[in-house]
Amino acid sequence: MSTRSQYRYLPISDGLEISSDPNPWQCLSRYPKACKNVTFVDVDYRALMEKKRDVVRRTVELNEMLVNLSFPESGNLLLQSDQYLQVGCDLRELSDLSAVLTTAIDIEESLILCTAEVSITYMNVEAADALLKWASNLPDGM
């Protein structure tokens, strides 16, 4: 994650992959210097993300790790901080996903790493292809 670049890194994960994976929290606590310009983005169905948001809200150890933490009252962005975002959105609704990401972060100034291999396994072929095409069109996406 560390680099000489001024870009912000945005590893975007589907919630299925990390619903029980503490990767963002482990990285933030174990490698704070490497995560200096990293914003983790967690995307999944709204109902699941609301539960995950509530866990972060109730867990002092988690919310203390986040700077500028807020819980927006409306829209698909459910939790926002400098280091971590939670988005409640169906990955088949790419216009909704694009809208929330372009509102929450500066996509043009970001290097983006998408990890969504679990979610595309459960999507129909057309939806998975559309998601992969969408991700491939992100600036500096990986």
Q: Tell me: the pLDDT tens digits for 56-86?
A: 999 999 989 999 999 998 999 999 999 999 9
Residue 42 binned pLDDT confidence (cut-offs 50, 70, 90): confident
Distance CA 106, CA 1 (A): 18
pLDDT higher than 50, residue 18: no
Count CA atoms within 13 Å of residue 142 on its CB side.
10
Distance CA 35, CA 2 (A): 7
pTM to 2 decimal places: 0.84
Residue 44 binned pLDDT confidence (cut-offs 50, 70, 90): confident
Three-state SS at 107: helix
Please give the helix or strand (H or E) that residue 58 lies within, else none: helix 46-58
What does the pLDDT look like over 19-32, one tens digit per residue?
455 788 888 999 99
Is residue 135 within 8 Å of residue 107, measured between CB atoms?
A: no
CA 23-102-59 angle, 5° bins: 35
